[in-house]
Amino acid sequence: MTTATNESTARGLLYDVASATTTRPALIVFHVPGSQYQIHLRAEGSISAQVGKRIAGVICASARRVDQTAKGGCFVEPVMGRPRRIQGSVIAHDAAANTITVNCAGSAAVDGVGLPVVCKLTDARQKPDQFPLGTIVGFDVLDGATFTQR
């Protein structure tokens, strides 16, 4: 396993908490300071942070299919809402969990860290070791990205 705890920890602000409705689960809105990102994520476990205060935890998403890209920056689309597309640099991988960790907001650094997202590979033809550290990758995100507070 090459994923270090600090590499996978996303740091930001708890912008809002949205209660569950009949059409969607309860969500948190994670804001990356220094950016306009307001990412909607399903909370795994309890959230003890207060709205407007700093929060740290792990963002997990399932990647439809990961592709290496030759050019482009680091981003999450859309800027506001649930993540649908992610592009960034591979900073860690875990073969046992079949995940890669992608820094997808390099320009919006908080405490020297961008926005790491632990991405589960769902295409059976892909393995984490196919994506060396530093490789720029892009992928569509399946519905249900989560946040687990640390």
- Convert 3-49 into a string of H (helix), E (strand) and C (coil): CCHHHHCEEEEEEEEECCCCCCCCEEEEECCCCCCEEEEEEECCCCC
Asked if residue 111 has pLDDT above 80, the reply is no
Cβ-proximal residues to 45 (8 Å cutoff; 6+ apart), any chain = 148, 149
For residue range 45-61, what is the model confidence (pLDDT) as tens digits?
889 999 999 999 999 99
CB-CB contact of 30 with 55 (8 Å)? yes
For residue range 20-32, what is the model confidence (pLDDT) as tens digits?
889 888 899 999 9
Give the pLDDT confidence score for residue 26 in this predicted structure: 83
Distance CA 5, CA 60 (A): 13
The total number of structural domains in the chain stands at: 1
Cβ-proximal residues to 24 (8 Å cutoff; 6+ apart), any chain = 18
Asked if residue 12 has pLDDT above 80, the reply is yes
Task: Identify the domain containing residue 20 by its residue range.
Answer: 5-149
Give the pLDDT confidence score for residue 106 in this predicted structure: 60
Mean pLDDT of the chain: 90
Cβ-proximal residues to 132 (8 Å cutoff; 6+ apart), any chain = 90
pTM to 2 decimal places: 0.90
Tokens of 14: 């708890």
H/E stretch holding 7 reads: helix 5-8
Share of the chain above pLDDT 70, in %: 91
- Residue 3 pLDDT grade (very low, low, confident, very high; cuts 50, 70, 90): very low
Distance CA 71, CA 79 (A): 20
Give the pLDDT confidence score for residue 78 in this predicted structure: 96
